[in-house]
């Protein structure tokens, strides 16, 4: 095994691993500060923050020969016998000088800068900078330049790491951003008439190590130290990007990508990033409404009564059809199927409406936005297959209802966008009992006997299986608004289970009952688990 | 911090000397304090009939105010540092982009729940632009809880009301103003005026 020596400590790396000094040092628990280097982008070694002392150890004699000059850690490959020293006076002095040089022209407007609190310039200055400032303070203001519909640039705050420029060239492949002028006059800009307008533009804000690139959607909404972070999965499409939901007092403020080499690497698309606003839409359904038979009014029913009355009415209605929405988590879908079968042993289970818009959109950096705008079709299909021998979808359900095959239907939806028109919904009007569970009012919900509110993606807990069969487990980031029981809680109570909804318990139960979902039985890592692994092993 | 923390230096209590063990000398010492206060000048007043005098408005911690800049705009830049420092969580700010070219950000709304406030002065200390200050207004009353939540307009009106009697502290301190208010005996900042 190749061995790298980091600050006197031997670190073994894989025989075929291609790592730079920053990555190896991180394994030794040593953080080498860096601005311009990012694991997802090419190396430019321009910021000079990661300068370290390196050398080689002779394998035969064990003699260490050091290089006379400092080298950038990001650009120096670590191989067998590489010696990395990060804590000498020379390295520390170099870091302090880089910090000082960067701060000469940096406006000290941390108090109004959105990045304050998660800014690498702040963090590194605190850790590696000098206590005294030797230059004059510049004006308390940064020029602002509009670079696109989602991103704004604070020109003077920029430290010219060019991460954003490389991102648009290498990952999004759109090359909108560029460096104008030279030397100390360098600035990030766009060509007139070609703004930063692509589906991945929000990522440049995450990449920016300082407060130069600001997200217009988040600008001045909240200081970052007030935000609480919960690991989540994006519900925008079937790619199922790993994300972090940042929230405060049950209000979501922004979504950020979470590193997951199997799914989204370091990125997420703007559709997902800004696709949380429906959570706080005042038009959301916020109470369980039962149609009052005398007119079109609805009475609000207490949730504790909903569980019993719903069971009563559905069991008295006759043949039951259930649409299991691909917005539901695996656990919720399973409990819904179990609930339906406990009401009517012959209940027909259908995979709910799968919204599709356009076609898959791929980017040069290997990122794909899926056309299927729901996060859990594969998971719901797998769950329905546990109960039904034949897989039937939404169109089959609509046809069957039109043909009068059913007397009652339970339609789960939870789609953030309008998904059904009057003509499709019309046949459902003849049913004796129609239960619709959705985020917003719709032509279908208008016909419903029971109109139940659904939970948004950040309010759910459970497992989603993405288009590539990867199951990711997450907890609810925020509580559902007052008056809303997330589906998991409703089904848990309708099944007569005690205590709070516990996704892990349901998950274990699913894993035990199914060989195709057996991988869910164990501890699931943050990056998720590929459900096909067990199937490959058994075949 | 645990009792075993190496940063803690543990000291042995000194053994009692002869005077301590005799008890009576210390007893008399305490009694003499009581006797001295019986004859000394009274500091209590019959509030509200008699208004107490505020010794030094620069260090008094009464009702808050939001200062205005030279153009009459609110000085606050909505950095949330007061809300961050506030131990009672009584400050609520909604920030937005400012309509003025020389400023990036300003508070769209700024409210302080005066009932929740503990008047510790941390907000004033945290403020990087000297926008929030505590005045020497000490009688704070209201008929409802809502009335005691001071919004931006009310806090600005407190400034308009008090600015003549109590100029902005940063300016007063810069002009060595502490000396003019230097009634607090032994106040070390009396001589340190103008350190800004």
Record the tokens describing residue A361, joined without a space.
Answer: 């959109």
Cβ neighbours of A215 in B, within 8 Å: none
Q: Which residues of B touch A224 (CB under 8 A)?
A: none
What pLDDT, on the 0 to 100 scale, is given for residue B117?
96
| Residue A297: other Cβ atoms inside 10 A | 10
Range with lowest mean pLDDT among A352-356, B1-5, B176-180, B191-195: B191-195
Q: Which of A225, A212, A254, A216 is nearest to B97 (CA)?
A: A216
Residue-wise pLDDT for B27-62, tens only, equals 999 999 999 999 999 888 998 899 888 888 888 999
Domains of chain B: 64-174 (3.30.70.3270)
Cα–Cα distance between B179 and B172 in angstroms, integer? Answer: 10
- Angstroms from B107 CA to nearest CA on chain A: 10
Q: What radius of gyration, in Å, describes the C-alpha atoms of chain A?
A: 28
Rounded to two decimals, the pTM is: 0.87
* C-beta separation of A456 from A228 below 8 A: no
Q: How far is A110 from chain B (nearest CA, A)?
A: 9
The nearest CA of chain B is from the CA of A174 a distance in Å of 29
Q: Express the helix, strand and coil content of chain A in percent, nearest 5 each.
A: 30, 20, 50
For residue B169, give the 3-state DSSP assignment.
Answer: helix
Q: What does the alpha-carbon distance between residue A189 and residue B123 come to, in Å, rounded to a whole number?
A: 38
**Hey, of B69, B76, B80, which one would you mutate to test binding to chain A, going by the most A CBs within 10 A of its CB?**
B80
The per-residue b/e assignment along A257-290, b for 16 or more CB within 10 angstroms, e otherwise, is bbebeebbbbbbbbbbbbbbeebeeeebbebbbb
CB contact under 8 A, A220 and B128: no
Tokens of B63: 């009702």
Domains and CATH numbers, chain A: 3-87 (3.10.20.740), 138-280 (3.30.70.20), 289-538 (3.40.50.740)
Report whether A438 contacts A225 (CB < 8 A): no
A112, B78 contact by CB (below 8 A): yes
CB proximity A345 to B under 8 Å: no
- Taking residues B114-126, what's their average pLDDT? 95
Taking a C-beta distance cutoff of 8 angstroms, is the pair A77, A71 a contact?
A: no
DSSP lists the bridge partners of residue A210 as: none
Is any Cβ of chain B less than 8 angstroms from the Cβ of A223? yes
What's the pLDDT at A23? 96
Q: Which of A145, A173, A363 is nearest to A271 (CA)?
A: A363
Residue count of chain B:
196
CA-wise closest residue to A488 among A305, A339, A341:
A339
- A-chain residues near B104 (CB < 8 A): 109, 112, 141-142, 144
The CA distance from A355 to B170, in Å, is: 60
Q: What's the distance, CA B173 to chain centroid?
A: 15
Describe the strand order of the beta sheet including A470-474 as a list of residue ranges. A462-465, A470-474, A529-530
Distance in angstroms (rounded) separating the CA atoms of residues A50 and A310: 63
Does residue B180 have a pLDDT over 60?
no
The Cα–Cα gap between A501 and A513 comes to 19
What single DSSP character describes residue A15? T
Closest CA to A251 of B94, B104, B116, B150: B94
pLDDT of residue A367: 94
Q: C-alpha A530: how far from its chain's center?
A: 18
Cis peptide before B48 (omega within 30 of 0): yes
Nearest-CA residue of chain B relative to A221? B95
Cα separation, A99 vs A91, in Å, equals 12
B126 Cβ under 8 Å from any chain A Cβ: no
The conformation of residue A516, written as its DSSP 8-state character, comes to T
Burial A336-370 (b: 16+ CB within 10 A, else e): bbbbbeebbeebbbbbbbbbeeeeeeebebebbbb
User: How many CB atoms neighbour CB A133 within 10 A?
Assistant: 12
Instruction: Find the mean pLDDT for residues B162-172.
Output: 85
C-alpha A256/C-alpha A245 separation (Å) is 7
Spatial contact of B100 and B74, defined as CB atoms under 8 Å apart: no
Q: Do A111 and B129 touch (CB under 8 A)?
A: yes
In sequence order, the 6+-apart residues with CB closer than 8 A to the CB of A471 are A330, A379, A463, A464, A465, A519, A520, A524, A528, A529, A530, A531
Q: Are strands A361-362 and A289-291 parallel, antiparallel or unpaired?
A: unpaired
Most A CBs within 10 A among B77, B95, B104, hence the mutation to make, goes to: B104
Calculated CA dihedral for residues A420, A424, A426, A430, nearest 10 degrees: -110
Q: Tens-of-pLDDT digits for all 539 residues of chain A?
A: 899 999 999 999 999 999 999 999 999 999 999 999 999 999 999 999 999 999 999 989 989 999 999 999 999 999 999 999 999 999 999 999 999 999 988 888 888 999 999 999 999 999 999 988 888 876 667 889 999 999 999 999 999 999 999 999 999 999 999 999 998 899 999 999 999 999 999 999 999 999 999 999 999 999 999 999 999 999 999 999 999 999 999 999 999 999 999 999 999 999 999 999 999 999 999 999 999 876 678 899 999 999 999 999 999 999 999 999 999 999 999 999 999 999 999 999 999 999 999 999 999 999 999 999 999 999 999 999 999 999 999 999 999 999 999 999 999 999 999 999 999 999 999 999 999 999 999 999 999 999 999 999 999 999 999 999 999 999 999 999 999 999 999 999 999 999 999 999 999 999 998 888 888 988 899 999 998 876 555 55
Q: In the structure encoding, which two tokens stand for residue A327, read together? A: 């917005």
């Amino acid at each position: 095994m190749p061995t790298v020596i980091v600050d006197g400590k031997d670190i073994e790396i894989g025989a075929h691993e291609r790592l730079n000094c920053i990555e190896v040092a991180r394994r030794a628990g040593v953080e080498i500060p860096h601005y311009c280097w990012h694991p997802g982008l090419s190396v430019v070694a321009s910021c000079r923050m990661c300068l370290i002392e390196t050398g080689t150890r002779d394998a035969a004699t064990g003699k260490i020969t050091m290089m006379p000059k400092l080298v950038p850690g990001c650009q120096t490959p670590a191989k067998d016998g590489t010696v990395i020293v990060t804590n000498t006076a020379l390295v520390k002095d170099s870091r302090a000088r880089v910090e000082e040089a960067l701060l000469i022209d940096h406006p000290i407007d941390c108090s109004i800068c959105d990045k304050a609190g998660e800014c690498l310039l702040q963090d590194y200055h605190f850790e590696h900078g000098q206590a005294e400032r030797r230059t004059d303070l510049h004006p308390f203001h940064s020029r602002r330049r509009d670079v696109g519909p989602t991103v704004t640039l604070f020109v003077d705050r920029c430290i010219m790491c060019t991460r954003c420029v490389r991102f648009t060239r290498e990952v999004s492949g759109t090359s909108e951003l560029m460096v104008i002028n030279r030397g100390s006059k360098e600035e990030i800009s766009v060509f007139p008439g070609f703004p930063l307008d692509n589906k991945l533009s929000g990522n440049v804000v995450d990449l920016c190590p300082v407060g130069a690139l600001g997200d217009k959607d988040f600008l001045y909404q909240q200081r970052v130290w007030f935000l609480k972070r919960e690991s989540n999965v994006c519900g925008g499409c079937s790619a199922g990007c790993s994300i972090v939901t940042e929230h405060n007092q049950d209000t979501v403020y922004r979504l950020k990508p979470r590193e997951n080499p199997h799914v989204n690497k370091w990125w997420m698309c703007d559709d997902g990033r800004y696709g949380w606003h429906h959570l706080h839409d005042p038009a959301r359904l916020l109470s369980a409404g039962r149609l009052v038979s005398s007119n079109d009014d609805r009475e609000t029913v207490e949730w504790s009564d909903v569980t019993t009355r719903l069971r009563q009415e559905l069991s008295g209605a006759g043949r039951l059809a259930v649409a299991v929405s691909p917005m539901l988590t695996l656990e919720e879908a399973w409990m819904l199927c179990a609930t339906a079968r406990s009401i009517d042993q012959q209940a027909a289970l259908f995979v709910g409406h799968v919204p599709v818009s356009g076609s898959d959109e791929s980017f040069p950096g290997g990122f794909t936005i899926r056309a299927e705008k729901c996060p859990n079709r594969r998971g719901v299909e797998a769950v329905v297959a546990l109960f039904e021998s034949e897989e039937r979808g939404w169109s089959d359900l609509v046809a069957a209802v039109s043909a009068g095959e059913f007397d009652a239907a339970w339609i789960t939806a939870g789609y953030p966008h309008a998904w059904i028109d009057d003509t499709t919904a019309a046949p459902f009007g003849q049913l004796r009992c129609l239960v619709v569970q959705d985020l917003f009012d719709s032509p279908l919900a208008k016909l419903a006997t029971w109109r139940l509110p659904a939970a948004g993606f950040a309010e759910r807990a459970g497992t989603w299986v993405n288009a590539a069969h990867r199951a990711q487990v997450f907890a609810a980031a925020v509580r559902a608004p007052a008056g809303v029981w997330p589906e998991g809680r409703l089904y848990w109570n309708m099944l007569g289970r005690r205590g709070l909804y516990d996704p892990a318990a349901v998950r274990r139960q699913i894993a035990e009952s199914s060989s195709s979902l057996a991988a869910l039985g164990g501890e699931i890592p943050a990056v998720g688990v590929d459900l096909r692994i067990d199937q490959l092993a058994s075949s | 911090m645990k009792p075993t923390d190496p940063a803690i230096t543990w000291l042995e209590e000194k053994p009692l000397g002869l005077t301590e063990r005799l008890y009576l000398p210390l007893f008399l010492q305490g009694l003499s304090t009581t006797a001295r206060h019986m004859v000394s000048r009274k500091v209590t007043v019959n509030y509200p009939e008699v208004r107490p005098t505020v010794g030094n408005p620069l260090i008094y911690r009464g009702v808050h105010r939001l200062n205005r800049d030279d153009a009459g705009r609110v000085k606050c830049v909505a950095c949330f540092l007061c809300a961050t420092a506030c131990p009672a969580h009584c400050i609520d700010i909604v920030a937005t982009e400012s309509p003025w070219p020389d400023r990036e950000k300003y508070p769209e709304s700024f409210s302080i729940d005066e009932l929740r406030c503990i008047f510790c002065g941390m907000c004033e200390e945290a403020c990087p632009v000297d926008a929030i200050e505590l005045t020497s207004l000490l009688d704070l009353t209201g008929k409802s809880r809502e009335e005691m939540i001071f919004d931006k307009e009310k806090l600005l009106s407190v400034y308009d009301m008090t600015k003549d009697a109590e100029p902005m502290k940063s300016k007063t301190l810069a002009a060595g103003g502490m000396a003019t208010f230097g009634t607090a005996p032994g106040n070390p900042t009396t001589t340190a005026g103008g350190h800004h």
